[in-house]
Chain A
Amino acid sequence: MRRNQWATLLVTASLWLSGPGFLTAQAPPPYARTLETYTVPDVVLVNQDGTKVKLKALLDSGEPVILDFIFGTCTTICPVLSAGYANLQTKLGTGPSKVHLISVSIDPENDTPKVMRDYLKRYRAKPGWDFLTGRREDIDKVMNAFNAYIPNKMSHYPLTLIRDPKTGKWIRIFGMMSSSEFVAECRKAGVL
């Protein structure tokens, strides 16, 4: 390779090396919404109480459900997704909740039931919000089934999936929502 080509390569590389700050200003968050059909894998996961949970039965029960992918020590994305869940629960009030909120761990090795219990406590989660962990293989199956597979948890992205209880279809929301947007999406999906 000629010398100036090296120089170009190095400068390009250094731009990446200089890290995220090189990117230009981050646009405000428009979220993308699509309607999808997913086949829920038949796996057994474990919830924050250490109880085994059949995912298929849970998601296909006909009960309104919302699903996201988080992990206990995640920065930026999970805190904000979880704040959205906590806020939705507050809005739904204290009565028996109609909507089942589910968070699936993408760091199943670290997210033991105890870690998940502590996490939910920090967000003052009420009954009706379950955090699920499990065998890495099974978690991979779940991520794949929802077209959300990531090989490295640090390149995780914000995704919220709302199941329409009437059609069984899923509304896939890519990006972050405000509280009013979240409520509006839930209404549209018929879960509120």
Chain B
Amino acid sequence: MSGWRSIPFLSRLLAGACGLLLLAAPAVAAPPAKPKAPGTVAGLPADKALALGERMYRLGILPSGESMPSVVNGDVPVEGTAFSCSSCHLRGGLGSWEGGIVTLPTNGARLAIPRYWKFPNLSPEERRELKLQNPAARPAYTDETLAHLLRTGRDPSGYDMHSVMPRYHLSDPDMAILIHYLRNLSARHSPGVVGDTLRFATVIAPGVSEDDQQAMLVPLNNYVARHNQFSAGFGNRMYLGVGGNEMSGAYRKLALSVWRLTGPPETWEAQLDAFLAKEPAFALLGGLAPGDWKPIHAFCERAQLPCLFPITDLPVVSDSDWYTQYFSRGYYQEGQAAARYLHGLEDSAPARKPVQVVQDSPEGKALAQGFRDTWAELGQTAVPEIPLPEGKPLALATLEELLAREKPSTVLLWTGASAFPALAALTNGATGAFLSARLLGSQLTSLPEPVRTQVWITYPYREPNLEPKHSLYADTLLGGLTQRHPETRISTRTYALVQILRQALMDMDRHFYRDNLLDRIGMQRDQILPDYLRLSFGPGQRYASKGCFIMQVGPGPSPSLIRKSEWVIH
């Protein structure tokens, strides 16, 4: 049993050890795509059938709108609402590997070629060139054999699939629609795979300082250069055998374009469309924008373009959007943490009557929204909110008047350090306050001494004294230049992005489909990288850092932070 469990671990270890060599091998042409000719499917126009098939695959809903039933483990009936093909095979269809159970690929490209247990990634052409003799485990599927497999679990070679692969008793037209979808699912490489190169882009919106741009661009460009250098250095020198050929099929050089936006945010989507049309990118990496990330997020959803880890604290918070993978929910997540902490306090007095003071800025609004949503989710009643115009400091008199009028137990002050003088109003000791560490920035440690024991800080990073030292690799990637403003955490976050991307490129293998890139990130194990205590992943999980500490500021002129909560507060 222990061997059984150690398989994924071993493979990781070896994959890690061989990552460099994998990247060092020469490129081989991709398997030919075999899309189905357009026409009608089950009497429907092909695109209509495709949309209905997608709904079957992703949501387990039949063309009729009813739930798609199946049977697993021999005799366990399951509703389509419980899970669907994509729960196991993932959205891109390349399958998954969890706990020793292998979910085979079910994408168009793979179904159209025979399956081999050994070196399954080689194309038929490569097999011929290498004169491989081993017989196929199954032939390419015809529509008939595929329908038979989905109904009975038996493939055309007579192999009975593991009973966790459900059996689907579909009508002929429904089956035709599902098969039409599978034939087109990850059948051709996504745009941005050009010859031997995988093209990426990074977006920089107007108003980002030159220093901040460099903090992201230097490590990104260094990474791309090193990756490409390895291929040049090792080139064709080493003969790697059949496995080597298989690995080399996964190798691509990388290219990175910088898409610089101009003008107001309303015009960005059109500019991004033009960039993408001119130089198709496989995915966006990082990215910087001074305000809301929303316009770029919306573009990526529409263009079905992955965006990996934009350097933003104003993401779109959504349970269902797919294409942007963020580090965290940013300011919103700090508001959530405040709500959870307050709700969970042993002494319920501070939670009795909170009041939010909300600066009319994207940051203030995101903090307040996070608090509001979570407070409601916890079953608490809505709290009064006092707006504060953008750029206007909170005056002492305003806070005094608010305390006298509302008699809150706690004030959530979603303003910056300009509120410090007003905090004198809290010295009666009856009211606590929350402030955001990210909004306070370097001013955090100058919080006025008399109120420090009454003020809680939402702190979205690892405790500063526990931040691990940069690795040698990180240092060479970042260069001294990018570390001039460590408080922005732009270069360290870019470094984290690079680490996750490197793993994802290895795991993506030669299956260059945009959804597969996101699926592979979803299957990564937890990562301990700079800034956030822990980054974790899962299919469809789009905010890798789930935590935020609540801190208090200790006494003295160079105070330490006193941790008051867990990283994740339940």
Contacts and interface: CB of A to CB of B under 8 A. Distances in A.
Interface of A: 6-7, 10-29, 32, 46, 50, 71-77, 79-80, 82-84, 86-87, 107-110, 112-114, 122-124, 133-136, 152-158, 174, 176-180
A68 to B, nearest CB: 12
B264 interface: no
Interface string B508-543: 010000000000001111100000001010111100
Contact of B18 (A14, A23, A135, A179): A14
Contacts of B244: 10-11, 14
B66 interface: no
Nearest to B8: A155
9 contacts: A10-B18, A13-B14, A18-B243, A19-B120, A80-B73, A84-B76, A109-B536, A154-B99, A155-B9
A7 B237 CA distance: 12
B8 A154 contact: yes
Interface string B1-35: 10001011111001101100110000000000000
B11 A28 contact: no
Nearest to B155: A25
Given A17-B14, A135-B566, A29 B164 contact: yes
A97 to B, nearest CB: 18
B172 interface: no
A155 B5 contact: yes
B149 interface: no
Most B-side CB within 10 Å, residue of A11, A21, A32: A21
Interface in B80-123: 81-83, 87-88, 90, 95-105, 115-121
B82 A29 contact: no
B98 A76 contact: yes
B246 interface: yes
Report whether over half of chain B's contact residues are helix, strand or loop; otherwise say mixed. loop
B162 interface: yes
Contact of B14 (A12, A26, A122, A177): A12
A76 B568 contact: no
Contacts of A27: 162
Interface residue tally on B, bucketed by range: 35 or more
A17 B73 contact: no
A135 B570 contact: yes
Contacts of B377: 113-114
Given A14-B242, A19-B120, 6 more contacts: A10-B241, A12-B14, A14-B18, A18-B120, A83-B73, A83-B76
A73 B539 contact: yes
A6 B241 CA distance: 11
B87 A79 contact: yes
B570 A158 contact: no
A179 B26 CA distance: 50
A3 B446 CA distance: 62
Nearest to B160: A28
Contact of B101 (A21, A71, A77, A153): A77
Most B-side CB within 10 Å, residue of A20, A22, A87, A157: A20
A11 B570 contact: no
Contact of B162 (A13, A17, A26, A157): A26
B512 to A, nearest CB: 15
Contacts of A21: 102, 104-105, 115-117, 120-121
Contacts of A25: 117, 137, 159
Most A-side CB within 10 Å, residue of B15, B82, B160: B82
A134 B570 CA distance: 6
B568 A155 contact: no
